[in-house]
Amino acid sequence: MRLRNKVAVITGGASGIGLATARVFAREGAKVAIGDIVDAAPSIKDITASGGEAFAQVIDVTRSGQIDSLISAAVDRWGGLDIMFNNAGVGLPKPITEVSEAEFDRIFAVNVKGVYLGCKAALPFLLRRRAGSIINMSSNGGLIGRPADPVYCATKHAVMGLTKSLALNYAHLNIRVNALCPGPINTPMLWAGATGEEQRRAKLSQVLASCPAARYASADEVAAAALFLASDESAFINGIGLAIDGAKAAGIMPLDRYRLDFAINM
């Protein structure tokens, strides 16, 4: 088991990538504490039913006291902290001209402040062990620009800046800080706003058109990457944004994958 007796805290663990990661971590021997804005206890029944150790707590990642409470509960129960996965996040697929100030404030509060608070709360416990892994949820939108969701991309670029800076600051203390940068993943966020079969097909066409691999990934594929960054197998990997996006962030796709029917004004 790659995480035997490790203690992990995961935010946004009630569904999607967070839940898939909780299951993988538990299967690999970790004790897992999950926080989410909704009750994640029903989601992790399979972990405890199979003999894994896990508990869930309802928290709002934008409130420092609530993240502190989740981490403290894990430390009180299991004696320390080894892994912090700041996974909670929200999307905002809108052009900037349609983003309200309230929406701007909310997405920065969840996607950036939530990561900052998670890192800040976890670090004192990792420093006690002089070891540990922090994994922050960014996006391939934290590595490249995306025209459909610029404010979301801004939050994920901020996560990358925080990740790299913390990695530099704590590397000599054997604490690693890395980020996951997924592309199209089959989670509720991917299908936001697509209510019927026709809308889902249209959304899927858009997703495949912009991904060189011409597919989306499962939450389990991202969880496998999280496991790698949490484990000692990645002991010399620090300060990176790991793209899990079918080469989407790598550059420009081959010409035959693009539309060529645009009107040209000369």
Contacts 24+ apart (CB under 8 A), 30-33: 30/3, 30/4, 30/5, 30/6, 30/82, 30/83, 30/230, 31/5, 31/6, 31/7, 31/74, 31/77, 31/78, 32/8, 33/7, 33/8, 33/9, 33/57, 33/70, 33/71, 33/73, 33/74, 33/77
CA pseudo-torsion sign 214, 19, 62, 226: negative
Residue for token pair 């079969």: 197
List, in sequence order, every beta strand (DSSP E) within the chain: 7-11, 31-36, 54-58, 83-86, 132-137, 175-182, 241-244
Largest interatomic CA distance in the chain: 69
Catalytic residue, from 152, 170, 216, 258: name it.
Answer: 152
Helix axes 150-170 and 114-129, enclosed angle (nearest 10)? 20
What are the backbone angles phi and psi of residue 134, rounded to the nearest 5°? -105, 130
Q: For residues 100 and 106, give the distance between their C-alpha atoms in angstroms, rounded to a whole number.
A: 10
Is the distance from CB of 130 to CB of 81 less than 8 angstroms? no
Catalytic annotation present for 152: yes
Q: For residues 136 and 229, give the distance between their C-alpha atoms in angstroms, rounded to a whole number.
A: 10
Q: Which residues pair with 135 in a beta bridge?
A: 85, 178
Q: Which residues are catalytic?
A: 152
